[in-house]
């Protein structure tokens, strides 16, 4: 997608996704530290394309209340407190505010002929909305930028608070998926008895092209994700299922769903995990796709998958994970030869279709 600036509607769609990613990072104890347009990529060239935050080379873990000292970031987007070497996760909010400013007008709020001048203007923290470029931009957008680019970090809003800002509430409500009832039913009925089965499904979902279905399922995900942080909590799913069943039954189902698909054990379900249970498994697990994935595992072309090939595929260390990999094989290895044949692999994957 090429543009000097975006409409407010398109900007809000992009910023909502960026901020959702930032909230997700902060909730899990990480700071990006180099948010900028170059690290925001579009999946396609379409106007309403989904975006992804990339390049975590300067990111780090942090503990709430602690201050970081290392000066990292890019001129234009770096927060003043980073230049002073005394900052926390709110530096990502500042950088996001700069991105939003640029999306709406096409140039940065802190500009200059060289890095020294740019850093000086960032350190001063003063910016304006030139009338000739901002007269058509809503007061809500300007207010949100002011709150994100607040020099005083104690008064600067958090990424989570950004998502609750009235600017996002100006948008039309997310278009309700015509298949939302079916999607919720698929989520409720999803069963997976094999760890290996879930690992393969996650791989296919992550690396094969199922964009059209992802876009449709994302609509339902956004309806359930009430705080817009890119993950579903137990309470959010309870609200979703509470619309069609009693509280006791809803809790029982939600507890089971979390036990089944919260693969990374975070206590919340991200979009990839949501896809694991709600994609069309019959369509996803075509003969052609299963054959392709099996061949990716079967590096030596022997017609079977052994322990070392599984470890190599999932980039597991040689020293560890032996017990885990052995368990994966034992679940699927029906003839007990210590390896997984294509038929055993296929039988394992097909089982998931009959359970949904």
Given the residues 34, 225, 229, 298, select the one marked as catalytic.
34
> Tell me, what DSSP letter sits at residue 87?
B
Specify the fold of 180-283.
Recoverin; domain 1 (1.10.238)
Name the CATH architecture for the domain at 8-169: Orthogonal Bundle (1.10)
Q: pLDDT tens per residue, the chain (356 residues)?
A: 455 557 888 899 899 999 999 999 999 999 999 999 999 998 877 767 788 899 999 999 999 889 999 999 999 999 999 999 999 999 999 999 999 999 999 899 999 999 999 999 999 999 999 998 898 899 999 999 999 999 999 999 999 999 999 998 875 444 444 556 777 777 777 766 678 888 888 888 888 778 888 888 888 888 888 888 888 999 999 998 888 888 888 898 888 888 888 877 788 888 888 888 888 888 888 888 899 999 999 999 999 999 889 888 877 655 457 788 888 889 888 999 999 999 999 998 888 765 54
Spell out the residues 6+ positions from residue 171 whose beta carbon is closer than 8 angstroms to its own.
9, 12, 13
DSSP letters for 258-320? HHHH-TT-SSSEEHHHHHHHHS-HHHHT-HHHHHHHHHHH-TT-SSEE-HHHHHHHTT--SSS
In this structure, are residues 189 and 246 in contact, taking their beta carbons and an 8 Å threshold? no
Does the pTM surpass 0.85? The reply is no
Burial class of residue 84 (count of CB atoms within 10 Å of its CB; 0-12, 13-18, 19+): exposed
CATH 1.10.238.10 residue spans of the chain: 180-283, 285-355
- Between β-strands 40-42 and 51-53, what pairing exists: parallel, antiparallel or unpaired? antiparallel
| Structure token pair of residue 122 | 């960032």
Nearest Cα residue to 105 out of 2, 18, 3: 3
Choices 2.40.110.10, 3.40.50.1820, 1.10.238.10, 3.40.50.2300: CATH for 285-355: 1.10.238.10
CATH 1.10.510.10 residue spans of the chain: 8-169
Q: What is the C-alpha to C-alpha distance for residues 269 and 237, in angstroms, rounded to an integer? A: 10
- Residue 101 parent element (H or E): helix 90-105
- Residue 105 parent element (H or E): helix 90-105
Q: Express each pLDDT in 336-345 by its tens digit.
A: 999 999 999 9
Q: Express each pLDDT in 292-350 by its tens digit.
A: 999 999 999 999 999 889 888 877 655 457 788 888 889 888 999 999 999 999 998 88
Rg (CA), the chain: 23
> Tell me, what DSSP letter sits at residue 65?
T
Strand partners, 31: 60
Per the annotation, the verdict on 306 as an active-site residue is no
| Structure token pair of residue 220 | 């339902």
């Amino acid at each position: 997608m090429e543009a000097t600036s975006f409409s407010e509607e398109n900007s809000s769609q992009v910023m909502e996704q960026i901020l959702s990613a930032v909230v997700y990072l902060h909730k899990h104890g990480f700071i990006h530290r180099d948010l900028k347009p170059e690290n925001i990529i579009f999946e396609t060239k379409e106007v309403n394309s989904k975006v992804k935050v990339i390049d975590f080379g300067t990111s780090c873990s942090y503990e709430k209340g602690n201050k970081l000292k290392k000066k990292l970031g890019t001129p234009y987007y770096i927060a003043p407190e980073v230049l002073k070497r005394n900052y926390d996760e709110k530096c990502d909010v500042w950088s996001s505010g700069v991105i939003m400013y640029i999306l709406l007008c096409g140039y940065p709020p802190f500009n200059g002929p060289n890095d020294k001048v740019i850093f000086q203007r960032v350190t001063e923290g003063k910016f304006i909305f030139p009338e000739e470029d901002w007269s058509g931009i809503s007061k809500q957008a300007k207010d949100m930028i002011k709150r994100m680019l607040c020099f005083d970090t104690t008064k600067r809003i958090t990424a989570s608070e950004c998502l609750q800002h009235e600017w996002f509430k100006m948008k039309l409500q997310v278009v309700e998926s015509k298949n939302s009832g079916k999607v919720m039913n698929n989520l409720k009925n999803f069963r997976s008895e094999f760890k290996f089965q879930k690992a393969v499904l996650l791989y296919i979902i992550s690396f094969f092209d199922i964009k059209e279905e992802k876009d449709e399922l994302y609509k339902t995900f956004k309806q359930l994700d009430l705080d817009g942080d890119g993950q579903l909590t137990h309470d959010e799913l309870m609200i979703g299922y509470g619309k069609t069943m009693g509280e006791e039954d809803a809790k029982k189902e939600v507890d089971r769903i979390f036990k089944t698909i919260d693969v990374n054990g975070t206590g919340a379900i991200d979009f990839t995990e949501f896809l694991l249970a709600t994609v069309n498994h019959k369509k996803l697990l075509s003969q052609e796709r299963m054959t392709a994935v099996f061949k990716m595992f079967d590096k030596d072309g022997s017609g079977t998958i052994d322990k070392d090939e599984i470890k190599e595929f999932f980039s597991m260390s040689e020293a560890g994970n032996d017990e885990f990999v052995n368990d994966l094989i034992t679940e699927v290895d029906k003839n007990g030869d210590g390896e997984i044949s294509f038929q055993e692999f296929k039988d394992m994957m097909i089982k998931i279709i009959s359970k949904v």
